[in-house]
Amino acid sequence: MRRPLSGLGVFILGAAVLAAQAAVPAAQTTGSSQVRADRTAAPTKSSKGTIQTFANKVLTIKTVKGSETFSVTSDTIITKAGKKVDTAALTQGEMVNVRYTEASGTMKAAYVTIAAVPPPKKTEQPGGTK
C-alpha cells in the first residue's frame, strides 16, 4: 500500500519538476553564446533548507549539513508556486531549494525555488458538535 506524499516529499517533487522546466529554456536558448557560457561555466549543484537571512544580496540557508551562503544577483531566478517573484519573497523561515554554480569559492544562486506550504490539515475536535 502506498503512503501519500508528506510535505517534504511534495517539496522535493515540486523542486524536481521546476528544475526540469527551468532546464528546457536554457537548452533552447538561441541568443548570445555568452548566456549559454554563463549557465554552463560550472556544474549546477543544489541545496535545500530554511532561509536564515537574506541581506545585501546574500542568502544564507540552514541545511542538514549546516549553514550555506549564496550570492543572489540580477540573473538569479526566484519562483514561488510556479511564478517568478522578487527578492522580497526571501523571508526568514521559508523552505527553499537553491540551484547554484560554484567558482573560486563563491556559490552563486542561479535559481531559488520557495516551497509552497500546504494548508494546515483540519483536525476534528474531541467531543465536537453533531
Grid coordinates in use for 50? 530554511
CA atoms of 115 and 22, how far apart (whole Å): 16
pLDDT at 2: 54
* Homologous superfamily of domain range 7-114: Copper binding periplasmic protein CusF (2.40.50.320)
Grid coordinates in use for 123? 483536525
pLDDT at 69 over 50: yes
pTM over 0.75? The answer is no
pLDDT at 36: 44
pLDDT band at 121 (very low <50, low <70, confident <90, very high): confident
